[in-house]
Amino acid sequence: MAKGWIRAYSDEYGFFKNKKHERKDRSIFRKAFTTVLYEQADEHSLVLKTLKWGDEVILPDGIGSDSWTKTIYNGQEGFVRRWHLVEIGFLAKDPSDNKSPYTTRLKLKNTEYKKELLWGDLIQITKREADVCHVRARGWYGKLAPYLIQENGILDVSFIDVGQGDGLLVRFPEGKHMLIDGGLERVNQMTGKNAADFVDWKFFFDYGDYCIRLDAMMASHCDADHYGGLWDMIKRDPEVDEEIDCIDFEAKAFYHAGLSTWVKKDNTHKDKLGPTDDGWFVRLLEDREDAERCMNKTNEDTLNGDWKSFIKKILALEEQTPFFRVGVKAEDLADNKELPEIWKDDVSCNIKVLGPVTQNKNGKIALKDLGDTGKNKNGHSICLRLDYGNARILLTGDLNTASMNWLSEAYGDRIDNFNCDVAKACHHGSHDISYKFLKHINAGATIISSGDAEGYSHPRPEIVAASAVTGHMDVDLENDRLRTPLIYMTEIERSVSLGKVSHIKIQNHPNNDGSVTDKAILALKKRNITNSALLSEDERDTLDDIMDKNEKKAFKKDILDREKALLLSTETAHQVFNTNAQYHYKSVHKLFSIKYGTKPVKKTRILTKNHYGLVNVRTDGETIMCATMKESGEGWTIHTFPARF
């Protein structure tokens, strides 16, 4: 039976039509919306339940085209208005397209085919007719042929372009979501964005929700360039955060590696990572109750630093999020026991835990001392392997040479557990990697998450090369083409567009007498500023809406005359008084320090477009697809290869 969600896009459209509003207002509307599950297909029949936007339902007969749709909610069957529902599907491969079966062009309403969808994209069906489905996909509305929509999802791993750090969102075939890391906090990112922005887009635009709903949130280790983006989502204030459109957030579980930063309380402590015993860290963070105790300064052990502040925010979430430490015991590896799993039997994808590897030290679960603070934090990252059908995807956190050597020792002849089809590169492509260990990984595709932060030079050229030469070689001899290994870098997939400033316009600038006037600052000479640069975005929109040619021409002339007069008077005044203007700015220097500077307006270029460097990895367990968006923003660059396990 088909799955569905309560959604009311037509009601939402009608409510906001011809109203000026912010996107966040749509979230407020969605959260407040309710509809009714009736006993019969009649609004005068018995009311069984009041349903909210986002409720999950079963549609025994699909959505159809009738006014009423048979609906099951929590085992109770009734009827809901069709336009308050969507049927959930996923974009299937196109069997009729031998050239590009992994993409489909969505026919938008009243336009030609325009937007390109990707295999596995979530499809919300609003109405089914004989030979066409009316759908919503990626926030667009259009039509698809029924044969292009499948009922079951596939494994979808989004390697997010977070700049400095790591961040990835996993959508499992059953619909569960796990967010692993989030990059640095936005305030410390050169782009000002991290995983919070992508996840918000996914839930608000793609899914049409008002709430970010995570079944699991995971910090691979306690470094800020991994948990900072998670922190942004938790501590955000919907009233003041203009860039996040979802107004609610929930995380049903929080997973962590155990190693934490602690207040030093005796001489056995090392590098703020807690007490040690003969080369082993013996104080690991455990469950929620343990975290609550460790907030207290009078407790035997007390968390410390930004990690403590992050944990405190999770503890403050309304749903009382449970905590789980993730790891595998060296003793179990030696006894040849099965690897531990997350969500065992809950999802069709096996989430195998490969690291960090702990060992019993005098009755305490302990992690090996690998060297300095950075080596220990990074080296004891959570390492997961996602097994789906014949496909394996390895997620490595920030493993380094020391931890790879320890893993090799602990796994012994079981080291082939790290062999995979797709691997997230260890530690952003850092040089601190074991070549021997990469040979055990032997990935068909490697994804390197790296940023532009100064002082790191990630990814290192020798590591990019090593990832290739240790990767799984697969050549299509018939077409003389290399299938694998493939190397992706979020930093390379990312691109920006720059524009030169022509002038700055300040509207409603207050004068000393209490009146307001428009002001301008020129970066170019007036004669070099074209007419098209004089219209504001709102004025362009108004101009586009005017249908009468004469009215359109007159409207545009009035604007140009007004703006040219402003620029002429401004240029004259600038020449008389030798006026100049400078930008005063701050930027992220290296990783956490802020750099301040100035630059003349006339020499300034501004960011007009930030092309996101997301790498999509999707699989049905047989074929693996790696896809990145083309720089034009239209269409995809796609590579596929067979899963080999």
Q: Are residues 291 and 440 in the same domain?
A: yes
Q: Are residues 43 and 191 in the same domain?
A: no
- What per-residue confidence (pLDDT) applies to 456? 53
pTM metric for this prediction? 0.91
Q: Label residues 449-480 b or e (16+ Cβ within 10 Å = b).
A: bbbebeebebbbeebbebbbebbbeeeeeeee
- What per-residue confidence (pLDDT) applies to 590? 58
Q: Are residues 630 and 597 in the same domain?
A: no
pLDDT digits 0-9 by tens, 520-570: 888 888 888 888 888 888 888 888 889 898 999 999 999 999 999 999 999
pLDDT digits 0-9 by tens, 626-642: 999 886 667 899 999 99
CATH number of the domain within which 219 lies: 3.60.15.10
- What per-residue confidence (pLDDT) applies to 588? 67
User: Which of 150, 184, 209 represents a domain boundary (last residue)?
Assistant: 150
Q: Are residues 210 and 124 in the same domain?
A: no
**Total number of residues shown for the chain:** 645
User: What distance in Å separates the CA atoms of residue 284 and residue 634, rounded to the nearest whole number?
Assistant: 47
With a cut of 90, say whether residue 4 has pLDDT above it: yes
Q: Are residues 278 and 427 in the same domain?
A: yes
pLDDT-derived band at 411, boundaries 50, 70, 90: very high
pLDDT digits 0-9 by tens, 236-265: 666 667 788 999 999 999 999 999 999 998
pLDDT digits 0-9 by tens, 119-165: 999 999 999 998 999 999 999 999 999 999 999 999 999 999 887 77
Extended strands (E) in 379-534: 383-388, 391-395, 422-424, 445-448, 474-476, 481-484, 486-489, 495-500, 503-510, 516-522
Residue pair 168/229 in contact (Cβ under 8 Å)? The answer is: no
Q: Are residues 218 and 351 in the same domain?
A: yes
Q: Are residues 257 and 358 in the same domain?
A: yes
Q: Are residues 186 and 275 in the same domain?
A: yes
pLDDT-derived band at 180, boundaries 50, 70, 90: very high
With a cut of 60, say whether residue 49 has pLDDT above it: yes
Residues spanned by the domain of 419 = 155-494+614-642
User: Which of 150, 180, 198 represents a domain boundary (last residue)?
Assistant: 150
Q: Are residues 107 and 185 in the same domain?
A: no
Strand partners, 34: 52
The H or E element spanning position 32 is: helix 23-32
596, HSE (Cβ side, Cα atoms, 13 Å)? 1
User: What distance in Å separates the CA atoms of residue 607 and residue 595, rounded to the nearest whole number?
Assistant: 18
Mean pLDDT of the residues in the chain: 91
User: What distance in Å separates the CA atoms of residue 329 and residue 335, rounded to the nearest whole number?
Assistant: 10
pLDDT-derived band at 321, boundaries 50, 70, 90: very high
- What per-residue confidence (pLDDT) applies to 447? 93
Q: Are residues 143 and 159 in the same domain?
A: no
Count how many domains the chain has: 3
Q: Are residues 234 and 335 in the same domain?
A: yes
Residue 556 DSSP class: H
- What per-residue confidence (pLDDT) applies to 606? 83
- What per-residue confidence (pLDDT) applies to 278? 94
Q: Say how many Å lie between the first and final Cα of the chain, rounded.
A: 31
User: Which of 83, 118, 150 represents a domain boundary (last residue)?
Assistant: 150
- What per-residue confidence (pLDDT) applies to 168? 94
Q: How confident is the model over 275-297, as a mean pLDDT? A: 96
- What per-residue confidence (pLDDT) applies to 462? 84
Q: Are residues 263 and 142 in the same domain?
A: no
pLDDT digits 0-9 by tens, 391-401: 999 999 899 99
pLDDT-derived band at 291, boundaries 50, 70, 90: very high
